[in-house]
Structure 1
Amino acid sequence: MWNPEVYLTYADHRGRPFYDLVSRIGARTPRRVVDLGCGPGNLTQTLGTRWPDATIEAWDSSPEMVAAARERGVAAEVGDVRAWSPAPDTDVVISNATLQWVPEHPELIVQWVSQLSPGAWLAFQVPGNFDAPSHRAVRDLAARPQWADLLRDFPFRTSEVTAAPQTYAGSLRDAGCVTDAWETTYVHELTGAHPVLDWIEGTALRPVRSRLDDAHWEKFRAELIPMLTAAYPQRSDGTTFFPFRRIFVVAQVGQRR
């Protein structure tokens, strides 16, 4: 279950990649703009500000996130992005930090551009940090004997979850798009007693939490804290640097041959 309040703990940091992504979309007067994986809708709201005449369509698989988005006035729907297909007037499709949860997303993005009209835009951003110390610490802890049975066969994500920017660019180029792909490592300055734990509780640790009862969850957290502290030590000024690599792709559909 997604918790919108936990996810929004670092809303400013999580929002920056969204703005960097959307800034590269060249659409001027799109008819329909779609946000796939809209989350609590705080970022989706900004799309209506940029394109005030567009119909804003929003999807998310989490009922809790959709409820939070609707409270903000976003006309969000509960749905799996794999079941989504563009309406004829769709001119912009955006997916921010969502496709990493969809194993078949490399094929899905090619399918989407084949359904979009020439001139339409597809823009997405996915994390590229699955081999970062934070993720390795979770995997290493889960592999210890005291957790191995409870988290047996858990589908921990590795660097293979997402591709390199040039791989996405190549497949979309082959599909007839003009592409713009890049990667950025943000060095987030976090504060608090356990800031990296607070961050990953809203994302990477969510599936682990779903496997554990309250008592086991508190014990898992307690054992994870020193591992994260060692990997991301707090500075003397009270801040903690948290590097986070992200992969961006913006593609415009070309004329059909």
Structure 2
Amino acid sequence: MHSVESAAPTWDPQQYLRHAGHRTRPFIDLLARIPQLPGNDGRPARIADLGCGPGNVTALLADRWPDAHITGLDLSPEMLERAEKDWAGTTAGGGWLDFRAADAAHWTPEEPYDLIVSNAALQWVPNHPESFAPWVAGLRPGGTFAFQVPGNFTSPSHALLGELCETPEWRGRVGDQGRRYVHILEPGDYLRRLTDLGCETDVWETTYHQLLPGEDPVLDWVKGTALRPVLTALRDDRAATEAFLAQYRERLREAYPPGPHGTPFPFRRIFAVARKGA
């Protein structure tokens, strides 16, 4: 029996990838702002992807740096299994893509990297800004640390989840699982912390106004991310899971009514690109 406090989220790569297009777009925008790496002087770049998930965006790094050695790091066995199956091995440009287990909360670079990147993962890592210093220290001179995180934790999708988890009916079953991922800072705080480390830093935010298709698409979206801790806490009780989802579904339907072309779903993202001095 997993306690509310000890249950680590169980991830579902297939569910996560149901919205792969919308989830990939912020990473593409982040990738476009990453400057030339020191590995571009003829030596293949060394790249780490923190929180690589199922590996679909990690593979995009090989398109940008075809001969790079890229390592995807993740804590989820389910995600790593999917990444290994779909993407591991020699890349089309002659580089190498591999994956291994690592907890971003404790990972430190074991060798010099040209790029450390993280896509929609650091929101799950308490005190992740405290790791910026060792991550930047692990970069080669002129290397880059870049990440993007969701910035929508006060939006209805997440606020309603937290409120439902705190009702008397569910508090004892799921505790703070609906809010356990809220560990992000505001853009100005990221700018200050990374600049204080001596990096040339670019920080920005974007709100994507997405049209999600199908019935209850916002619920389907959060089933792949924010809802994972709750689903994990209730995984041994199917009736409770269905009851929770039914209550959450009704709240989401009211907050996100469908339109004639789909359900509008605004999603704020925060981006940072920090280049270490040469």
Taking structure 1 as the reference length, what is the TM-score of the superposition?
0.94
1:33-48 aligned at under 5 Å gives the runs: 33-48=47-62
Which stretch of the first structure deviates more once superposed, 19-28 or 144-153? 144-153
For 1:214, which of 232, 235, 238 is the aligned residue? 238
* Deviations 1:200-240, CA, capped at 9 Å, x for gaps: 010011000111121101010111111101111001x1400
Which residue of structure 2 aligns with residue 98 of structure 1? 121
Shift of 1:14: 0.1
Shift of 1:158: 7.5
Which residue of structure 2 aligns with residue 246 of structure 1? 269
SS at 1:136's partner residue?
A: helix
**Aligned counterparts of 1:154 and 1:51: Cα–Cα separation in 2:** 38
Which residue of structure 2 aligns with residue 7 of structure 1? 16
* Deviations 1:85-142, CA, capped at 9 Å, x for gaps: 2244410111000111111101112221123222010000111111110111111212
Shift of 1:157: 4.1
Structure 1 moving runs of 4+ over 4 Å: none
Q: Which residue identity is paired with 2:214? A: G
Residues 114 and 175 of structure 1 are in contact (CA less than 8 Å); yes or no, is this contact kept in structure 2?
no
Shift of 1:153: 4.7
For 2:154, which of 115, 119, 131 is the aligned residue? 131
Structure 2, unaligned stretches of length 5 or more? 1-9, 89-97
Residues 115 and 139 of structure 2 are in contact (CA less than 8 Å); yes or no, is this contact kept in structure 1?
no
Structure 1, unaligned stretches of length 5 or more? none
- Cα 1:87–1:158 change in 2 (3 A) is closer
Count of equivalent residues = 253
SS at 1:216's partner residue?
A: helix
SS at 2:87's partner residue?
A: coil
Q: Which residue identity is paired with 2:79? A: M
1:1-257 aligned at under 5 Å gives the runs: 1-28=10-37, 29=40, 31-74=45-88, 75-154=98-177, 156-157=179-180, 161-212=183-234, 213-235=237-259, 237-255=260-278
Q: Which residue identity is paired with 1:27? A: Q
**Aligned counterparts of 1:49 and 1:158: Cα–Cα separation in 2:** 31
Residues 58 and 77 of structure 1 are in contact (CA less than 8 Å); yes or no, is this contact kept in structure 2?
yes
